[in-house]
A and B are shown apart, each in its own frame.
Chain A
Amino acid sequence: MPNAIEFTQSIVNGISVGLIYGLVGIGFCVIYNASGIVNFAQGVFVMLGGMVCQALLTSLGIPLILAVVLTIPLVALSGLLMEVAIVRPMMNRGATLFAIILATLAAQIMVERITLLTLGDRPRTYEEFTSGGPLKLGDVAIGYQLFWILGCGALLVLALWLFFTRTRSGRALRACSQNREAAQLLGIPVARMMLLAFGLSAALGAIAGILVTPTQYTAYNVGTPFGVNGFIAAIIGGFGRAGGALAGGLLLGVLQALAIVVLGAGFKNVAALSVLLLVLLLFPNGIFAGFGPNAKAH
């Protein structure tokens, strides 16, 4: 039987990975709100964030801050490319929802394979942002990276909130999510907003990937688990609100960490996927959305 310390420790671990899921979940919501599409390739941005940052660090030997500053726009660029080359032409041609979902899934496999061919299949990681640690609180160890994740997560949510409420582009994006046709009539450049959403969403994924890699590892195939867990976070949060997705991610991360303590690590993905199915079937509007004033079905 696991003791109290193990439980506390797993909750601490769960919070850090859960925040990452939350960031990925927000990425899902940003694109969904702007375009009505769930981007199945969302996890790829997390993978690219970690892989590109690691590659820059080791091959160029540049300082971390510079690597981060280079990685985020590079990955954001891949998001823009996905929008321009795949999603936009399909929407213009009136492709079905399933076809677009499938195309994003194909894009994920393609990016994974290209990464595999160029960077190999070796798992990679790099040092935590702040050396030393972990911080010991009694018998519970808290890695310094957790504080980076917490801090960056909080900053990002604040920045997103400011962006969506205080800037022209942010407000235009929100208008698109309410009603795309009406937004178009109001003179909002909906196409450019979709581009912005994909770029923003990819950047969020990249940041998540950069932050999480030091706590575990990254490889060409880590995208799917992050994508699936981020999606779960988003639907627990009711698919729409950034805060909801973040809360959903935290809940999921902690539950998963506890499940590992109780059940062992082997079936943690099976457990997460089963949670996904249960949430989909039992709460088609999301758990937190049920309490909101304008809960709606998708």
Chain B
Amino acid sequence: MIPWRTLLPIAAAIVLTGIGLLSGSYAVTVLGFAFIYTIFCTGLNFFMGYTGQASFGQSAFAAIGGYGSAILCADYGWGPLPALIVTMVISGIAALLVGYPTLRLRGHYLAMATFALGLIVYEISIEWTSLTQGYMGYSGVPPLSLLGYELGTVEQQLVALLVLALFGIFISNRLRQSRFGRALAAIAGSEAAARALGIDIARCKLIAFVIAALYASAAGSLFAHFVGFISPEVFGVTMVVQSFAMLYLGGIGTTWGPMIGAIIVSILPEALRGLQEMQDIAYTAILIFILIFAPRGLAGLSSLFARGKSRKLEEA
């Protein structure tokens, strides 16, 4: 039995995809970005929402995924799927090596260190021109393909991205609802108490960081295939802030928050015509507004109802 709270968002996402497919290729593109960001934000949510840590540098792993897939597919003729998996492994190893020393830091230092990671990879993607072609960017990345069948149209790719985004949410939710997921929630709640119950905090944080990096890497690879072109700007600081806007708008620490936020933040500037130029200003404003007034985001509203219900049950 699947509860309506799970079915409803899935149905909504499918309906939205259907509307997108009927409204033409521009809507399809916008939704495609939204689903790619859903995957990125689901990983970020895993590390920040579930584990209560902060990374301001997840864009680094998206860049590894994006450039890795672009180079492997365009220059070496790899298939998109093997490239996706191999770059995920590379990102995971990078996260393991980098996270081991970095995650010992706390507060401002953790924030600044992860921020620096993102900037380092960004700078490398600009300067290592022999590998990345610098500001010029990397073009000619083939579209996604599955089992030898190329998803040539954006419509086909959109459906694939929807499935992948839902799969990503499914995995993340499954991990949360387990002994491992509970340990992460414990760390978010109180590190002292988690430690006193025998939870290996450093290890759990590191695993959560690696998982978040895998999501980011996959999102980066998918972006490269979907657009066919990547440049350093794609994985810059704006990516970090934009994904945070999505995460906080949708509701950090909730299952569907990343998807809700990603869709709204992607569609909003398109809906308000003439705002495209101000897109970055719009979502930074949204982010600041939410951080101040509704730090639990839109999904937080529904849990308000849930909480009210359990209170009533208790009185009865």
Name B's interface SS.
helix
Measured CA separation A3–B168 after assembly (Å): 56
Interface hit among B137-145, B207-215, B254-262, B282-290: B282-290
Given known contacts A113-B280, A228-B119, A99 and B291 CB-to-CB distance under 8 angstroms = yes
Given known contacts A280-B105, A281-B101, A109 and B111 CB-to-CB distance under 8 angstroms = no
Measured CA separation A106–B280 after assembly (Å): 10
B119 adjacent to A269 (CB under 8 Å):
yes
Instruction: Looking at the assembled complex, report how far the CB atom of B98 sits from the nearest CB atom of chain A, in whole angstroms.
Output: 9
Q: Is A117 interfacial (CB-CB < 8 Å)? A: yes
Q: Is A98 interfacial (CB-CB < 8 Å)? A: yes
B107 adjacent to A97 (CB under 8 Å):
yes
**Using a Cβ cutoff of 8 Å, how many contacts connect chains A and B?**
118
Instruction: Looking at the assembled complex, report how far the CB atom of A115 sits from the nearest CB atom of chain B, in whole angstroms.
Output: 11
Measured CA separation A298–B288 after assembly (Å): 25
Total contacting residues, chain A, CB less than 8 A? 39
B292 adjacent to A95 (CB under 8 Å):
yes
Measured CA separation A44–B115 after assembly (Å): 16
A228 adjacent to B285 (CB under 8 Å):
no
Measured CA separation A273–B123 after assembly (Å): 10
Q: Which of A180-232 contact B (CB under 8 A)?
A: 224, 228, 231
Measured CA separation A99–B293 after assembly (Å): 12
A97 adjacent to B108 (CB under 8 Å):
yes
- Closest-by-CB residue of A relative to B129 is A266
Chain B interface size, as a band, is: 35 or more
A109 adjacent to B284 (CB under 8 Å):
yes
B292 adjacent to A102 (CB under 8 Å):
no
- Closest-by-CB residue of B relative to A88 is B292
Measured CA separation A100–B109 after assembly (Å): 14
B112 adjacent to A276 (CB under 8 Å):
yes
Q: Please, which residues of chain B bring their CB within 8 A of the CB of A93?
A: 292, 295
Q: Is B196 interfacial (CB-CB < 8 Å)? A: no
Q: Is A134 interfacial (CB-CB < 8 Å)? A: no
Q: Mark A105-147, 1 if CB is under 8 A from B, else 0.
A: 1110110011001000000000000000000000000000000
Q: Please, which residues of chain B bring their CB within 8 A of the CB of A113?
A: 278, 280-281, 284
Q: Is A274 interfacial (CB-CB < 8 Å)? A: yes
Given known contacts A99-B291, A117-B277, A228-B119, A109 and B124 CB-to-CB distance under 8 angstroms = no
The listed residue (A107, A109, A276) touching B280 by CB distance below 8 A is A109
30 interchain pairs (CB within 8 A)?
Answer: A38-B112, A40-B115, A93-B292, A98-B48, A98-B54, A98-B111, A99-B295, A101-B56, A102-B248, A103-B287, A103-B288, A105-B241, A106-B245, A106-B291, A109-B280, A109-B284, A113-B278, A117-B278, A266-B127, A267-B124, A269-B123, A270-B127, A273-B119, A273-B120, A273-B123, A276-B116, A280-B109, A298-B106, A298-B107, A298-B109
User: Could you list which residues of chain A lie within 8 angstroms of chain B, going by C-beta atoms?
Assistant: 38, 40, 86, 89-90, 93, 95-103, 105-107, 109-110, 113-114, 117, 224, 228, 231, 235, 266-267, 269-270, 273-274, 276-277, 280-281, 284, 298
Leading 5 A-B pairs by shortest Cβ distance: A110-B284, A98-B54, A38-B108, A106-B284, A113-B280
